[in-house]
Amino acid sequence: MEHRPIAIITARGGSKRIPKKNIKLFCGEPIIAYSIEAALKSELFDQVMVSTDSEEIAEVARQYGAEVPFMRSAETASDYATTNDVLKEVFAKYDEIGYKLDRACCIYPTAPFITPKSLKESYKLLDGDNVHMVNPIVKFSFPPQRSLVVNEKGIIECLQFENRFVRSQDLGNVYHDCGQYYWYDVPFFLKHDGIMDGYSAAYIIDELHAQDIDNEVDWQISELKYEILQRKGLL
């Protein structure tokens, strides 16, 4: 039997920089709820599951409609485990019960700007020629080609000296990962051990819909952005 994709929300406990980050209230709701609700409302998935080692996170996830079919192992809950390690564990668990996975979406639990619309649009890109992954990205607000460093004497130096007088608009756009979600061709992912270089399509997100949340200041900025998007009806 062929299944629709599953959504895998990766939410381990033990956040150091922001305690209980994955279930901390964000504009009145646990932040993981936004990822769960966007995935459910997209109607793309057979299952929206959460991979976690925390019973507290698991309970919150179930309250918002996600499934927690098994708890994450100690190995994939460590500080050194990668997202790919977590995905391999999830794929193996589903394989054990005979659940054939062709496609999956890894969604981060601290990504409140994900919308059903972006999930649907980006999913279509997975049908492109030689595309086996889709990666949402956002443009750097300042061109990194004109980055500065400070040497051991406290003196500013240009990281790319040849670009010091080049106009910003002439340097070309450079992007970075949004840290929101990733679409995968599961058999290809497993065959290539999660190395997807050269096979990933770009889904470009505007700066207002993207924000890294690594500390309390990031959190406050994210809530302000979210409130702006709400007022404008862009969520």
**pLDDT score at 15:** 84
Over range 22-48, report the average pLDDT.
98
Q: In which domain, by residue range, is 93 found?
A: 6-138+176-231
**pLDDT score at 2:** 64
What digits encode the pLDDT tens for the residues 70-115? Answer: 999 999 999 899 999 999 999 999 999 999 999 999 999 999 999 9
53, part of any domain: yes
80, part of any domain: yes
Residue 167 CB burial class (10 angstroms; 0-12, 13-18, ≥19) = exposed
Q: Is the pLDDT of residue 235 over 90?
A: no
What torsion, rounded to 10 degrees, do the Cα atoms 179, 182, 186, 192 define?
A: -50
CATH number at residue 65: 3.90.550.10
Total Cβ atoms within 10 A of residue 189 = 24
Strands (E), 33-187: 47-51, 103-107, 133-139, 148-150, 156-158, 175-177, 181-185
**pLDDT score at 16:** 81
**14 confidence band (pLDDT: 50, 70, 90):** confident
- Determine the angle formed by the axes of helices 55-63 and 31-42, rounding to 10 degrees: 40
What digits encode the pLDDT tens for the residues 133-191? Answer: 999 999 999 999 999 999 999 999 999 989 988 988 899 999 999 999 999 999 999 99
Reported pTM: 0.94
How, if at all, do strands 148-150 and 156-158 pair? antiparallel
**pLDDT score at 18:** 92
156, part of any domain: no
Categorise residue 106: left if φ over 0, alpha if ψ from -120 to 50, beta otherwise.
beta
157, part of any domain: no
Over range 45-74, report the average pLDDT.
97
How, if at all, do strands 6-10 and 25-26 pair? unpaired
**pLDDT score at 1:** 54
**pLDDT score at 197:** 93
Q: What are phi and psi of 124, to 5 degrees?
A: -60, -30
Strands (E), the chain: 6-10, 25-26, 29-30, 47-51, 103-107, 133-139, 148-150, 156-158, 175-177, 181-185, 200-204
**pLDDT score at 175:** 97
Over range 46-59, report the average pLDDT.
98
Q: How far apart are CA 221 and CA 19, in angstroms?
A: 18
205, part of any domain: yes
For the chain, percent of residues with pLDDT exceeding 70? 99
144, part of any domain: no
Buried b or exposed e, range 94-118, using 16+ CB within 10 angstroms? beeeeeebebbbbbbbbbbbbbbeb
Instruction: Give the CA angle between residues 223, 228, 234 to the nearest 5°.
Output: 110
What digits encode the pLDDT tens for the residues 181-227? Answer: 999 999 999 999 999 999 999 999 999 999 999 999 999 999 999 99
Looking at the structure of the chain, the number of domains it has is 1
151, part of any domain: no
Cα radius of gyration (the chain): 19
What is the SS3 assignment for 190? Answer: helix
What digits encode the pLDDT tens for the residues 121-147? Answer: 999 999 999 999 999 999 999 999 999
219, part of any domain: yes
